[in-house]
Amino acid sequence: MITYKEAISILSNALQPLPDFKIASEQAHGVLARDVISTVEVPNFSNSAMDGFAVRSVESNGANEDNPIRLEVKGCILAGELAPAIDQKESCCEIMTGSVMPNGFDAVIPVEQVEINDEGGRAFIVINQSVQTGRNVRFSGEDFKPGQVVAKKGQLLNPHILMAINANKIESVSVYRPPNIGILTTGSELETVNQEENSPTIPNTNGPFLQSSIRRMGLPCNGMVSVGDSSQMILEKIQDFMDLESDIIIISGGVSAGKADFVPGALRTLGAEILFHKVWIRPGKPILMAKLSTGQFVFGLPGNPVSVAVGFRFFVNQAIRILQDQALEEPISAINKNEFKKPEKFCFFAKAQTGYTQSGNLEAEILSGQESFKLSPFYQANSWMILPEGTDVIKAGEKIKIVPLQPGEAI
């Protein structure tokens, strides 16, 4: 057997990023394959940050309650309109939020901070304060300038990044093709519509879990199929997913050393190279990774539901990141709240609940019910605690590593 670190090293060396393609920015999603660089100034014109009056700041110098200044209002600028040319001294222009600043004006005073007077059909404002240069003005190029990085290669596009990309008038971006993933659950004990009424069966929890996890990451799923413990059926379904051009095929069950564990043999029949089989981890020790002759990859996960969750979180997720040319996910540090004993040889992935203490430190509690068949702790869990091999006791107050329960989520 190999260690978790050795398994991730094998996984990293075996996989390469998928091809990239261009997509219109307005509909873009996925992981960026190239840096996005601005070619324009954003904003592309200086504009008002609020409703008020555009002024020349120098004309307000020295204004106060005892010495107010009086400026004539020379028009009104609405958003989307051109600004009028105003040459008259001691003047201002009413302006709405987002409207272009008139030439020579460098500040905006909010409408609620002035007194407005009408004198024979002419409007004037009275200001009793100095207005600093740049006040309430969004200057051209203040957010982005040509040559500035808008988003980096390897970033997952989200609505906030898309706002910046579209603000820069970038019509299309390059993203990596998302991996196609197929799901095969195995086991004659899984409930099907054709089984006898009194058969000792269990619900298929693994298939829906994997499908939901894949979709939660925004990735396409090539289908979810379930078969009994049949070497021929397993082989045929793997072939079906190969024909569907699945980049990754996830199989649950059938990877251990029992009489009905047919997955390793089926893979060898298909000419697959077994990259690793059995890792010093718990839960999930019998985990398998193989490379098919077509270049597609298979992850064989033990059938217990928590083993499937661990296999997806700590192996399949890392593989997906590499296929999208992202760095491997790194855990974060927290303080262990309660003492926990584990087998020294194994890296243990524990269901945990993590939160912030009053002093702002992350603190993680290992939940009861760590057996690989127990799902009840998940209603409390928001994280996984990674307890490395080489130690059998994790003491309270000890610094440990954690990751969020689901990829891409915050604690």
User: CA distances (Å), 229 to each of 199, 233, 340, in order?
Assistant: 15, 8, 36
User: What are the pLDDT digits (tens) for 381-406?
Assistant: 999 999 999 999 999 999 999 999 99
Cβ within 8 Å of residue 335, ≥6 positions away: 357, 361, 362, 363, 364, 397, 398, 399, 400
Torsion of CA 357, 363, 367, 371, to 10 degrees: 170
3-state secondary structure of 311: helix
Residue 46 pLDDT greater than 90, yes or no: yes
Q: Of 42, 60, 44, nearest to 107 (Cα)?
A: 60
**Angstrom distance (rounded) from CA 253 to CA 237:** 14
Please name the residues in contact with 375: beta carbons below 8 A apart, sequence gap of 6 or more: 205, 305, 306
On the question of pLDDT at 190 being above 90, the answer is no
294-329: pLDDT as tens digits: 999 999 999 999 999 999 999 999 999 999 999 999
Whether a cis peptide bond, with omega within 30° of 0, leads into 377 is no
The answer to whether residues 335 and 361 touch, using CB atoms and an 8 Å cutoff, is: yes
3 state DSSP class of 170: coil
Model pLDDT for residues 331-346, shown as the tens digit of each residue: 999 999 999 999 999 9
* Structural domains in the chain plus CATH codes: 4-18+178-323 (3.40.980.10), 20-43+142-176 (3.90.105.10), 47-138 (2.170.190.11), 332-404 (2.40.340.10)
d(CA 148, CA 41): 10
- For the record, the structure tokens of 396 come out as 């309270």
